[in-house]
Amino acid sequence: MTDEPVDASDDVLVEVDELIGRLQRSHGAEVASDVTRLLAGIDAIHRAGLTHLMQAIRSMGGDAFVNRLIADPAIRILLMSYDLIAADRRLAAEEAVDAVRGHLHAHGVDVEILEVVGGVVYVRLHGVAGAPLSEEAVIHDLEEALRDGFIGFQELVTRAPRSSGVIIPVGTLRKPVYHDVLAVDDLADGEMKAVDLEGQSVLVARLGSEYVAVSNRCGATPLPLEFSRLDGAELQCSWHGCRYDVRTGNRLDGAGDRLAVFPVRVHDGAVQIAVAAAPVGPVSAAAVPKSSSASSA
């Protein structure tokens, strides 16, 4: 046993699989057979126990409670490993990307996940042209989010945007839904305030003329960040000393959970935040310009 902290970015399942393979290959047929029997026995014990546990949970709490449990990535991957819930790789990738989707939306960029094949995630980027973020920066943020939140991630592949002559199905795009949370003068430069928005606690900070918003809890814990110290864009947690960049949500003091970043804008003297996104609605007929032939007719 060791007291060394485990790097949260490591794919533990891949490492375990590699270690098992090494044992089976490196010590002869007898050891390989023993390892296989050992793993089969452990699997049988765990599978039986987890199967009975899930049956009891479903009988007492129903599927709604099970869905709440598997929202935790650690629980979900455990149950997926024993085939007790379906492995939805695309959903897992979407959830990982959601950690930076707000940050990207705030800069006019959206990401459309096209498909997930094993550990390879295929995406199409929208709004990158003319955005303040470069395509390289967007790809970097997406790769970091997928490494942190998508177990087994191997590669991000971007597909070229559709040509302007092709209609993009609006159902694949989403736009942030903004809500007023503060007046622009409620915060001085360097100040923070926690607000509750649609059941989420969000920490709003002012950096000069810029406003940013992040999840008001330190990593995966429920401990609030509103009592932390803010130095420029660096936030230091009052509980653990963890340090974050409030512009990107990234940990600055090593590996660990990043903060969710929410889109922020100033509109009519109010600071507005979006914690959810809605599908882009269909374009009305009145908004579509008539062709010259239709006009002449």
| Residues 131-154: tens digit of each pLDDT | 888 999 999 999 998 988 777 788
pLDDT of residue 175: 63
> What is the dihedral sign for C-alpha 236, 240, 241, 244?
negative
pLDDT of residue 288: 40
| Residues 215-242: tens digit of each pLDDT | 898 877 788 899 999 999 999 998 888 8
What percent of the chain has pLDDT above 70?
77
pLDDT of residue 270: 92
How many other CB atoms are there within 10 angstroms of residue 114's CB atom? Answer: 14
Q: With the CA atoms of 139, 140, 142 and 147 taken in that order, what torsion angle do they form, in degrees rounded to the nearest 10?
A: 140
Of 136, 91, 130, whose CA–CA distance to 107 is shortest?
130
Residue 46, H or E segment: helix 28-69
pLDDT of residue 73: 64
pLDDT tier for residue 13 given thresholds of 50, 70 and 90: low
Domains defined for the chain, CATH in brackets: 12-81 (no CATH), 89-163 (3.30.300.130), 174-279 (2.102.10.10)
Query: 80-94, 175-189, 247-261: which has the highest mean pLDDT?
Result: 175-189
Question: Which whole-number Å values give the CA distances from 26 to 17, 22, 35, 39, 40, in the listed order?
Answer: 14, 6, 12, 17, 19
Higher pLDDT, 244 or 163: 244
pLDDT of residue 86: 58
| Residues 19-73: tens digit of each pLDDT | 777 777 777 777 778 877 887 888 788 888 888 888 888 788 776 677 677 666 6
For residue 169, the Cα-to-chain-centroid distance in whole angstroms is: 23
Task: Give me the chain's average pLDDT, please.
Answer: 77
| Cβ neighbours of residue 36 closer than 8 Å, sequence gap 6 or more | 24
Helix axis angle for 89-106 and 135-149, nearest 10°, is 140
